[in-house]
C-alpha cells in the first residue's frame, strides 16, 4: 500500500499523458456507469432506452480499443462492434415500437407504473 | 497484497515510461483524447441529469459524436462513420420522433427521475460498478502495442464476406425481423 | 385319474374362483345360470379333491413326505416369494371336507335363495369363499396362507353383510371383520418375525430350521412368535376373548352360517395351528396357553349356550365350544384328535345349521325356539336329520362326535386332569343344550299359528347326505385308521379308553334325561330353575356381558383417546402446519418486496450480482491473470 502512495505526482502525470488501452477502458467504464445510473433512476421509458444506448456505446468503445491496442493484424474487434451496432439499432427500433404501444395502452410511458410482472 | 502493489508498479512503468518520452506528438494525442473524452462524458452526464427530455436526446447525440471521433482517433474510421450515421443520425432521429409522438405537452419537466432513495441506491450501485471496473483495468498490465492495420474498410469487407458470412447474414435477417416486429408492435395486432 | 388330480391340485381353488369371476362379471342377474355355474365348478373341485384323497391314500404321501409344487410369485432382491400346492393327508382331508360342505351348501342355497333377487351375487360370494378356503388349505408358506386368510375374512364380511339393507347385518359384518382383523394383526407380526429371523416363510424349510433354532437359542423368542401367531387363530376361530363376532355372524343367510361355522372360516384358525404345529409343539408354554384357552372357551361358550333362545345363536355358541375342543386337542399335543374332530364337526355342524335354516325358513324367519314346538310332525325329514346331528354332537355312539370327542378327552386326560374335567363338563353341557334345543323346538304340542311345512327337495337332499356323513364319518375315521394318516411326530395309537368313553357316554345320557325331564315331561319348571340360579342364569343369558365390557372399554379408552388425539390433531398438528404456512407467508412477504414487478428493481439486483462476481474475480486477480497468460 505504501508504494501506491509513494508514487510521485510526476509519475501520475506521465501516465495520464501517455494515452493507452487503460484510458479507453476507464472511459468506457465511466460511460457505462452513467448509463446504468440513468437506467436505474429514469421514469420515462424513452429515457431508459437512451441510457441503454449509452451503455452499448461503452461496450463498443471497449471492442474497438482492444482491437486497436492489440498486437495482431486483425479486424475482429471492429467487426464485432459493427454487429453490435446492428443489434443495437434493431433493439432501438423494437424498443421504441414497444414504447408506442405501451403509451397507447396505458396512456403513460412511466416505467414505475408498469408492474404487471409483480408476483 | 504485495502482488497487487507490484502490479501497480508495472502499470506505471509500462504506461508512462520516463519523462524523457514526453514530446509534442504525445501531448497533442493526449489533449485530443481528453477533449473528446470530456465531450462524451459530460454530454452523457447531461443525458442523465437534464430535466428536459429533448435536451437529453440532443446531448445523447453529442455523446455519440464524441465517441465516434474517438473511434477515428483509434484509427478505425469506418466504425467512426458507422457511429455517426447510425447513432448520430438514425437512432437520434428515432428517439426524437418517439418523444414527439408520445408527448405533446410542456417539455420542461419531461424527464423525471425516481425518488431520492432510488437515486442514492442507483448512484451506489453504479459507483461500485465503476470502482470494480477501474480496479480491474488498473490492475491489469496491458501492453500498449499498436500495429498499423492498413485499410480497415478492405479488411472488414474481407472478413465479413468470408469468415463471418453467417453472422453477417444473420444480422441482416435480424434487422428485417426487427423492422417487421416494430411495425406490428407499433400498429397493434388487434387493429389489422 | 388320481395322479391327474394330484398334479392338478392347484385347480381345486382356482375353479370356484373362476366361477366367482364369471358370475360376478356376466351372469350375476340370472339366478339359475349362476347357481349352475357355481355348483358345477365346486363339483369339479370336489371330484378333484376325491382324486387327491385317493392318490394320498394309495400313494407314498404321508405327513412327513408331502407333495409340493411351487412357482415363483414375486422376487424382491434376495427375498423370493413363492406360491404353490402342498398336499399331505391333512390337506387332503381338509380339501374333502371343504369341497363337500361347500357343494352341499350351494345345492341347499338353490332352494334357500329361491325368492331372493340377489341370489347371483350370493353364489358369486359363496364360490369366492370356498375358493379362498381351499387356497388357504393348500398353501405352501405363511405368506400365501395369510393372503388367503385375509380373503376368507373379506368373503365373510361380504356374506355376513349380504342383507346389507338390514342395519344389524351391516353391524355384524363390520364386527366380524374388525374383530378378526385384531387377531390377524398379531398373526402378521408373528409372520414378519419369522421372516426376519429365518429369512423364509416356507413351511418345509421352517420345519427344518425351527428345531435347530430352538436347540441353539432356547424357546424365549420363539414363544413370543408363537403367541403372536396364535392371536390370528384366536380371532378367526372365535376363541375367547375374540369370540364375540361369531354369534353375530348368523345375521347372514343361513347357508353362509353353515359354511362359516362348519367348513370354511372358523376352522382356518385350527388348521393354521395344525399346519404350523412344528412351531407350536416345540414351545411348551404356548402349548399350555393354547390348551387352556381352548378348554376355557369350550366350557365358557357351553354355559352361554344353555340359556340362549334363538335357534342359530345356540348353534353359534356350540360352534365356539367345539372349536375350543379342537384347540384343546391341539394344546394337549394331539393333532390327530383335533383334525378328526374338525372333520366330524364340519359335517354335523353343517347339518345342524342347514336344519336350522330349514326350520327358520319354515317358521317365516321366527328364530326363538320357545315359539316353535312339535315341529317333528310338520317336518319329519328335517327332524330326523336334526336328531342325527344332535346325537352326533352330543357324542352318542356310534355317531361321529363320539369317536372324535372321545379321542380329545383321552388326549386331555393324558396331559392334565383339570383340562379333562373341564372338557368332560363341557361334554355334559353340550349334550344338555343340544337336547334342549331338540326337545323344545321339535317335541311338544304343535302351535295353532305354526306355519311350518316341509322344505323343498333342494334343501332336503343335502340334509340327508350330511346326516349320513355325520353318522359314518366318525366310525370310518376310527376304524380306517385316521391316526395313522394324519399325525404329528409319531403315529397315534387308535384305541378307546373305556373308562373315559363310558363316563362321557354316561354324562351325555344323564344330560339327555335331564333335558327331557325339564322340557318335555316338565317335571321341573325351567322358570323356577332360572330363578333359583338367578345370577348365573342372568350372566349366562347375557353372555357374561363380554360385549358390554367391550363397549365400555371402547367408550372409555378408544373414544377418550380419540378425543385427546383429535384435540392434539386440531391444535398441535394443524397448528404446526398452519404455523409453517404462516411462516412461509411472512417470509414470502419479504421476497415479494424484491419481486415488485418493476424492471428497474430487477436491473438493480442484477447489477448487485455482477458487482459481487467482479469483486470476487478481482480478489482472485492472480488466478485470472494466469488464465490470460500474458497476452497483453
pLDDT single digits (tens) C63-86: 777 888 888 887 777 777 888 888
Residues of chain B contacting residue C615, judged by C-beta atoms under 8 Å apart: 132
| pLDDT confidence band for C224 (50 / 70 / 90) | confident
- Closest residue, chain B, to C607 (C-alpha): B125
Note which residues in 39-78 of chain A have CB less than 8 A from chain B: 40-44, 46-47, 49-51, 53-54, 57, 60-61, 64-65, 67-76, 78
Q: Which residues of A touch B1 (CB under 8 A)?
A: 1
Q: Which of C600, C608, C618 sits opposite B139 (nearest CB)?
A: C618
We report the CATH number of the domain holding residue A44 as 1.10.287.3510
Chains that touch B (3 or more CB pairs under 8 A): A, C
Interface membership of C607 toward A (CB under 8 Å): yes
How far apart are the C-alpha atoms of C250 and C244, rounded to whole Å?
Answer: 12
Q: Does C499 touch chain B (CB under 8 A)?
A: no
- Residue of B103, B119, B149 with shortest CB distance to A41: B119
Across the interface, do B143 and C632 touch by the CB < 8 Å criterion? yes
User: How many structural domains are present in chain B?
Assistant: 2
Q: Which has the closest alpha carbon to C176: C253, C258, C105, C260? A: C260
Domain residue limits at A21? 4-113
pLDDT value at residue B84: 93
Q: Do C99 and C46 contact (CB within 8 A), yes or no?
A: yes
> What is the rounded distance in angstroms from the CA atom of residue C361 to the CA atom of residue C584?
68
- The secondary structure of C498-521 as a DSSP string is HHHHHHHHHHHHHHHHHHIIIIIS
Chain B hits for A33, Cβ within 8 Å: 126-127, 129-130, 133
Whether pLDDT at B123 is above 50: yes
Question: Which residue did the predictor score with more confidence, C595 or A13?
Answer: A13
Query: Looking at beta carbons, which residues of chain C come within 8 Å of A40?
Result: 600, 603-604
Domain of B11: which CATH number? 1.20.120.1200
CA atoms B153, B154, B159, B165: torsion sign = positive
Residue A42 lies in a domain: yes
**Residue B101 domain-assigned?**
yes
Looking at residue B20, what is its pLDDT? 47
pTM: 0.62
Please say whether the beta carbons of A49 and A102 come within 8 A. no
Q: What is the distance between the alpha carbons of residues B124 and B132, in angstroms, rounded to a whole number? A: 12
Tell me the shortest Cα–Cα distance from C575 to chain A, in angstroms: 27
Q: Annotate chain B with DSSP letters as a single string.
A: -HHHHHHHHHHHHHHH--GGG--HHHHHHHHHHHHHHHHHHHHHHHHHH-SSHHHHHHHHHHHHHHHHHHHHHTT-HHHHHHIIIIIIIIIHHHHHHHHHHH--S--TT-S-B--HHHHHHHHHHHHHHHHHHHHHHHHS-----------HHHHHHHHHHTTTHHHHHHHHHHHHHHHHHHHHHHH-GGG-
Report, as an integer, the average pLDDT of C141-158: 88
- C603–A40 C-beta distance less than 8 A: yes
Q: Is the Cβ pair A78, B182 closer than 8 Å?
A: no
Q: How far is C578 from chain A (nearest CA, A)?
A: 22
Residues in chain A: 119
pLDDT score, position A56: 93
In this complex, is the C-beta atom of C607 within 8 Å of any C-beta atom belonging to chain B?
Answer: yes
Average pLDDT of the segment spanning C367-395: 80
CA–CA distance, C404 with C417 (Å, rounded to integer): 19
Most confident of B157-171, C350-364, C431-445: B157-171
**Is residue A13 included in any domain, yes or no?**
yes
In this prediction the ipTM stands at 0.87
Residue B127 lies in a domain: no
> pLDDT at position C272, please?
87
* pLDDT value of residue B6: 59
- Residue A41 inside a domain? The answer is yes
Q: Say whether C604 and B142 touch across the interface (CB within 8 A).
A: no
Highest mean pLDDT of the ranges A47-61, B90-104, B124-138, C299-313: A47-61
Asked if C159 contacts C125 with a C-beta cutoff of 8 angstroms, the reply is yes
- Out of B94, B111, B128, pick the residue that ends a domain: B111
The contacts of residue C543 (CB under 8 Å, 6+ apart) are C247, C304
Interchain CB distance below 8 Å, C599 and A118: no
- Which residues of A1-119 form beta strands (DSSP E)? none
Helix (H) or strand (E) holding C74: strand C67-76
| DSSP string of C272-302, one letter each residue | HHHHTHHHHTT-HHHHHHHHHHHHHHHHHHH
Distances (CA, A) of C398 to C353, C437, C481, C510, C616: 21, 21, 16, 17, 103
Question: For residue C376, what is its C-alpha cell?
Answer: 317333528
pLDDT, tens digit (0-9, with 9 covering 90-100), for A32-69? 999 999 999 988 888 899 999 999 999 999 999 988 88
Enter the C-alpha cell of residue B182: 416494430
Helix, strand, coil abundance in chain C, percent, nearest 5: 75, 5, 20
Inter-chain CB proximity C597 and A119 less than 8 Å? yes
What pLDDT does residue C274 have? Answer: 86
Domain count, chain A: 1
Q: Which of A18-32, B51-65, C240-254, C528-542 shows the lowest mean pLDDT across its residues?
A: C528-542
Residue C360 belongs to what H/E stretch? helix C335-362
Does the residue A119 lie in any domain?
Answer: no
**In A, which residues are within 8 Å of B143 by CB distance?**
71
Whether the bond into A105 is cis, omega within 30 of 0: no
Higher pLDDT, C397 or A44: A44
pLDDT-wise least confident of A85-89, C281-285, C356-360, C376-380:
C376-380
Residues of B with CB under 8 A from a CB of C: 3-4, 7, 114, 118, 121-122, 125-126, 128-129, 132-133, 135-136, 139-143
Regarding whether B100 and B185 lie in a shared domain, the answer is no
B118 Cα to chain A: minimum distance (Å): 6
Cell of A3: 508504494
Question: pLDDT at position C629, please?
Answer: 58
What's the mean pLDDT in C368-397? 80
Q: Does C625 touch chain B (CB under 8 A)?
A: yes
For every residue of C619-632, DSSP letters joined together read HTHHHHHHHHTT--
Q: Other CB atoms closer than 10 Å to residue C122's CB: what's the count?
A: 27
Q: Which of B118, B119, B132 to mutate to test the interface with C (most CBs of C within 10 A)?
A: B132
Least confident range from A73-82, A89-98, C471-480, C519-528: namely C519-528
Q: Are residue B155 and residue B83 in the same domain, yes or no?
A: no
Whether residues B104 and B13 fall in one domain: yes
Mean pLDDT of all residues belonging to chain C: 82
* Residue C630 vs residue C48, higher pLDDT: C48
Q: C589 pLDDT exceeds 60?
A: yes
Radius of gyration of chain A (CA): 20
- What is the Cα Rg of chain C in Å? 31
Q: Which of B119, B128, B134, B138 to mutate to test the interface with C (most CBs of C within 10 A)?
A: B128
Query: Alpha-carbon distance C240 to C321, whole Å?
Result: 10
CA-based nearest distance A115→chain C, Å: 4
Residues B10 and B91 in one domain: yes
The answer to whether residue B141 is domain-embedded is no
What pLDDT does residue A57 have? 93
% of chain B with per-residue pLDDT over 90: 33
Secondary structure (3-state) at C202:
strand
Confidence of residue A1 (pLDDT cuts 50, 70, 90): very low
Task: Flag the least confident range among B145-154, C281-290, C621-630.
Answer: C621-630
Candidates C603, C618, C623, partner chain B, best to mutate (most B CBs within 10 A) = C618
Q: Could B130 and A42 be called an inter-chain contact, meaning their C-beta atoms sit closer than 8 Å?
A: no
Distance from CA of A33 to the nearest CA of C (A): 11
Is residue B126, in this structure, part of any structural domain at all?
A: no
Among B51, B86, B111, which residue terminates a domain?
B111
pLDDT computed for residue A2 by the predictor: 35
CB of B54 within 8 Å of a chain A CB? The answer is no
Is the Cβ–Cβ distance between A26 and B134 less than 8 Å? yes
- Claim to verify: residue B12 and residue B98 sit in the same structural domain: yes
**Under DSSP, is residue C68 helix (H, G, I), strand (E, B) or coil?**
strand
Name the pLDDT band for B26 (thresholds 50, 70, 90): confident
- Domain annotation covers residue B65: yes
Residue A44: which of B19, B53, B133 has the nearest Cβ?
B53
Q: Is A6 on the interface with B (CB under 8 A)?
A: no
pLDDT single digits (tens) C514-572: 888 777 777 666 666 667 777 777 776 777 777 777 778 777 777 888 888 888 888 88
A8 CB near a chain B CB, below 8 Å?
no
Grid cell at residue C318: 356350540
Same domain, B30 and B98: yes
Per-residue pLDDT of C418-468, as tens digits, reads: 888 888 888 888 888 888 888 887 777 777 666 667 677 777 788 888 888
Q: Predicted confidence band at A4 (pLDDT cuts at 50, 70, 90)?
A: low
Burial class (CB in 10 A: 0-12, 13-18, 19+), C152: buried
Residue B122 domain flag: no
Q: Is residue B124 assigned to a domain?
A: no
Note the pLDDT of residue B17: 47
Residue A118 belongs to a domain: no
Mean of pLDDT values over B19-42: 83
Hey, are the CB atoms on B141 and C632 less than 8 Å from each other?
A: yes
Range of the domain at B181: 148-192
Q: What is the pLDDT of residue A62?
A: 93
Amino acid at each position: 500500500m505504501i508504494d501506491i502512495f509513494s508514487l510521485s505526482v510526476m509519475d501520475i502525470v506521465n501516465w495520464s499523458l501517455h494515452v493507452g488501452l487503460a484510458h479507453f477502458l476507464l472511459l468506457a467504464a465511466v460511460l457505462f456507469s452513467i448509463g446504468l445510473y440513468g437506467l436505474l433512476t429514469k421514469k420515462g421509458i424513452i429515457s431508459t432506452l437512451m441510457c441503454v444506448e449509452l451503455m452499448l456505446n461503452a461496450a463498443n468503445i471497449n471492442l474497438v480499443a482492444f482491437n486497436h491496442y492489440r498486437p495482431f493484424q486483425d479486424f475482429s474487434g471492429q467487426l464485432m462492434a459493427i454487429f453490435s451496432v446492428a443489434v443495437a439499432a434493431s433493439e432501438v427500433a423494437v424498443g421504441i415500437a414497444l414504447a408506442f404501444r405501451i403509451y397507447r395502452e396505458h396512456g403513460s410511458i412511466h416505467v414505475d407504473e408498469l408492474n404487471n410482472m409483480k408476483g | 497484497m504485495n502482488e497487487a502493489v507490484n502490479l501497480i508498479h508495472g502499470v506505471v512503468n509500462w504506461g508512462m515510461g520516463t519523462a524523457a518520452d514526453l514530446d509534442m506528438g504525445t501531448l497533442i494525442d493526449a489533449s485530443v483524447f481528453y477533449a473528446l473524452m470530456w465531450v462524451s462524458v459530460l454530454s452523457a452526464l447531461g443525458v442523465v441529469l437534464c430535466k428536459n427530455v429533448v435536451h437529453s436526446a440532443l446531448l445523447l447525440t453529442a455523446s455519440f459524436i464524441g465517441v465516434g471521433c474517438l473511434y477515428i482517433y483509434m484509427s478505425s474510421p469506418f466504425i467512426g462513420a458507422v457511429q455517426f450515421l447510425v447513432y448520430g443520425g438514425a437512432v437520434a432521429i428515432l428517439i426524437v420522433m418517439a418523444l414527439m409522438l408520445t408527448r405533446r405537452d410542456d417539455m420542461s419537466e419531461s424527464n423525471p427521475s425516481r425518488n431520492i432513495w432510488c437515486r442514492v441506491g442507483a448512484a451506489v450501485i453504479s459507483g461500485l460498478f465503476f470502482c470494480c471496473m477501474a480496479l480491474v483495468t488498473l490492475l491489469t498490465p496491458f501492453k500498449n502495442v499498436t500495429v498499423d492495420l492498413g485499410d480497415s474498410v478492405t479488411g472488414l469487407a474481407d472478413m465479413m464476406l468470408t469468415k463471418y458470412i453467417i453472422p453477417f447474414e444473420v444480422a441482416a435477417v435480424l434487422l428485417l425481423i426487427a423492422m417487421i416486429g416494430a411495425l406490428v408492435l407499433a400498429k397493434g395486432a388487434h387493429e389489422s | 385319474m388320481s395322479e391327474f388330480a394330484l398334479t392338478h391340485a392347484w385347480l381345486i381353488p382356482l375353479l370356484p374362483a373362476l366361477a366367482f369371476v364369471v358370475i360376478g362379471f356376466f351372469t350375476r342377474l340370472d339366478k339359475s345360470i349362476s347357481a349352475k355355474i357355481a355348483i358345477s365348478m365346486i363339483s369339479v373341485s370336489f371330484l378333484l379333491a376325491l382324486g387327491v384323497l385317493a392318490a394320498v391314500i394309495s400313494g407314498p404321501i404321508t405327513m412327513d413326505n408331502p407333495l409340493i409344487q411351487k412357482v415363483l410369485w414375486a422376487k424382491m432382491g434376495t427375498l423370493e416369494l413363492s406360491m404353490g400346492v402342498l398336499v399331505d393327508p391333512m390337506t387332503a382331508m381338509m380339501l374333502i371336507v371343504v369341497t363337500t360342505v361347500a357343494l352341499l351348501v350351494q345345492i341347499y342355497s338353490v332352494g334357500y335363495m329361491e325368492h331372493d333377487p340377489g341370489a347371483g351375487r350370493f353364489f358369486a360370494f359363496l364360490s369366492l369363499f370356498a375358493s379362498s378356503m381351499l387356497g388357504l388349505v393348500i398353501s405352501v408358506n405363511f405368506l400365501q396362507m395369510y393372503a388367503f386368510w385375509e380373503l376368507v375374512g373379506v368373503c365373510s364380511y361380504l356374506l355376513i353383510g349380504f342383507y346389507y339393507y338390514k342395519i344389524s347385518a351391516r353391524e355384524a359384518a363390520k364386527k366380524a371383520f374388525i374383530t378378526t382383523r385384531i387377531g390377524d394383526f398379531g398373526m402378521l407380526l408373528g409372520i414378519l418375525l419369522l421372516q426376519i429371523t429365518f429369512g423364509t416363510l416356507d413351511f418345509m424349510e421352517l420345519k427344518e430350521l425351527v428345531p435347530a433354532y430352538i436347540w441353539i437359542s432356547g424357546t424365549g423368542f420363539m414363544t413370543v412368535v408363537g403367541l403372536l401367531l396364535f392371536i390370528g387363530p384366536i380371532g378367526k376361530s372365535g376363541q375367547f376373548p375374540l369370540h364375540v363376532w361369531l354369534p353375530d355372524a348368523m345375521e347372514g343367510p343361513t347357508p353362509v352360517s353353515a359354511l362359516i361355522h362348519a367348513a370354511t372360516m372358523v376352522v382356518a384358525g385350527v388348521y393354521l395351528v395344525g399346519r404350523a404345529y412344528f412351531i407350536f409343539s416345540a414351545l411348551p408354554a404356548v402349548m399350555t396357553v393354547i390348551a387352556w384357552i381352548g378348554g376355557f372357551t369350550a366350557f365358557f361358550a357351553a354355559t352361554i349356550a344353555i340359556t340362549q333362545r334363538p335357534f342359530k345363536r345356540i348353534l353359534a355358541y356350540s360352534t365356539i365350544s367345539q372349536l375350543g375342543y379342537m384347540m384343546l386337542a391341539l394344546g394337549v399335543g394331539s393333532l390327530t384328535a383335533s383334525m378328526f374332530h374338525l372333520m366330524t364337526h364340519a359335517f354335523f355342524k353343517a347339518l345342524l345349521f342347514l336344519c336350522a335354516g330349514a326350520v327358520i325358513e319354515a317358521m317365516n324367519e321366527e328364530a326363538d325356539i320357545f315359539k316353535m314346538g312339535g315341529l317333528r310332525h310338520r317336518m319329519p325329514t328335517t327332524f330326523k336329520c336334526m336328531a342325527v346331528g344332535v346325537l352326533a354332537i352330543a357324542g352318542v355312539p356310534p355317531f361321529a362326535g363320539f369317536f372324535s370327542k372321545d379321542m380329545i378327552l383321552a388326549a386331555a386326560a393324558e396331559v392334565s386332569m383339570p383340562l379333562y374335567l373341564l372338557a368332560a363338563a363341557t361334554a355334559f353341557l353340550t349334550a344338555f343344550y343340544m337336547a334342549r334345543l331338540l326337545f323344545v323346538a321339535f317335541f311338544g304340542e304343535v302351535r295353532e299359528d305354526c306355519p311350518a311345512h316341509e322344505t323343498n327337495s333342494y334343501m332336503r337332499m343335502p340334509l340327508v347326505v350330511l346326516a349320513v356323513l355325520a353318522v359314518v364319518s366318525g366310525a370310518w375315521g376310527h376304524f380306517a385308521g385316521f391316526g395313522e394318516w394324519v399325525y404329528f411326530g409319531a403315529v397315534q395309537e387308535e384305541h378307546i379308553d373305556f373308562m373315559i368313553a363310558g363316563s362321557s357316554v354316561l354324562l351325555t345320557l344323564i344330560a339327555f334325561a335331564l333335558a327331557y325331564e325339564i322340557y318335555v315331561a316338565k317335571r321341573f319348571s325351567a322358570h323356577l330353575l332360572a330363578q333359583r340360579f338367578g345370577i348365573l342364569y342372568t350372566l349366562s343369558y347375557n353372555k357374561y356381558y363380554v360385549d358390554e365390557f367391550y363397549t365400555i372399554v371402547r367408550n372409555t379408552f378408544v373414544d377418550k383417546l380419540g378425543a385427546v388425539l383429535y384435540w392434539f390433531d386440531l391444535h398441535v398438528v394443524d397448528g404446526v402446519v398452519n404455523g409453517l404456512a404462516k411462516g412461509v407467508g411472512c417470509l414470502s412477504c419479504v421476497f415479494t418486496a424484491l419481486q415488485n414487478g418493476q424492471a428497474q428493481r430487477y436491473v438493480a439486483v442484477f447489477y448487485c450480482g455482477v458487482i459481487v462476481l467482479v469483486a470476487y474475480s478481482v480478489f482472485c486477480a492472480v488466478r485470472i491473470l494466469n488464465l490470460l497468460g500474458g497476452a497483453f
